[in-house]
Amino acid sequence: MNFNENLIRKKIYPCDSHSRTSLNDSFFTKAAVLFSIIPHVNKPYELILIHRSNMGTRHRGEMSFPGGKFEPEVDKSLKDTALRETEEEIGVPRSNVRIIGCLDDFPTISKFIVTPFLGLISNNQKLKRDEREVQKILKVPIDFFINKINFTEQEFSVADEKFPVFYFNYFNEENGQTYTIWGATAFLITHFLELVYNVQIGSRKARRPTLDDIIRRHQYLK
């Protein structure tokens, strides 16, 4: 699937759009990620994902987009958060990222409200990982995610409710390692595909937990 910026712009939201779902709740921590796209001319575009290190207290060893929590001491906005974390984690200066829009905010089981910014990064841009936070930077073709053979879905239950967990298993030929992209990152990618290309990856009956669902879950587990 080749990159079509006009199509994507029509399907996603301007970041300040009133139509975009913007969430806020004191139970959650604000965070932002850069849905990082490398456009190409004659081949499918790629998404930049990182394999996080085992350092830190959350999301250790997981696959994700560059991003992190809002830091009011250094960030004026969530856009600043996404760009700062991108520069720190994969070495791309904010001046070399072109933001083209946003997706809806969504809450995570780990008690974050995540704002996804879609950003374009040149295929000539050198990527340099933060050795403390990032084990590996991966460029994954968008066609990989559209192929349902690479996708699995499971359910987990909280009290009498069931919620989906999405998984993609990506084999990286460079180092012969398989990386599991799951949870919030896999949901974000499937949501993007459904919104932009009307490609249904997950079950139509599945849904993401709402703010209230997650708050009840934490209360239930106490």
Q: What is the pLDDT of residues 67-112, one digit of tens each?
A: 999 999 999 999 999 999 999 999 999 999 999 999 999 998 889 9
* Mean pLDDT confidence for 203-214: 71
Assign 167 a pLDDT band (cuts: 50, 70, 90): very high
Location of structure tokens 């009840």: 216
Q: Dihedrals φ, ψ of 190, to 5°?
A: -65, -40
CATH superfamily of 5-221: Nucleoside Triphosphate Pyrophosphohydrolase (3.90.79.10)
- Tell whether the model's pLDDT for residue 119 goes beyond 70: yes
- In the chain, where the domains are located: 5-221
> Which residue from 172, 197, 171, 170 is spatially nearest to 181, judged by alpha carbons?
170
Three-state DSSP at 53 gives: coil
Report the chain's C-alpha Rg in angstroms: 17
Pairing status of strand 161-172 against strand 177-182: antiparallel
Q: How high does pLDDT run on average in the chain?
A: 91
Task: Specify the pTM.
Answer: 0.92
Interval 28-66: pLDDT, tens? 999 999 999 999 999 999 999 999 997 755 556 799 999
Tell me which amino acid residue 127 is: L
Cα 55-59-64 angle, rounded to 5 deg:
110
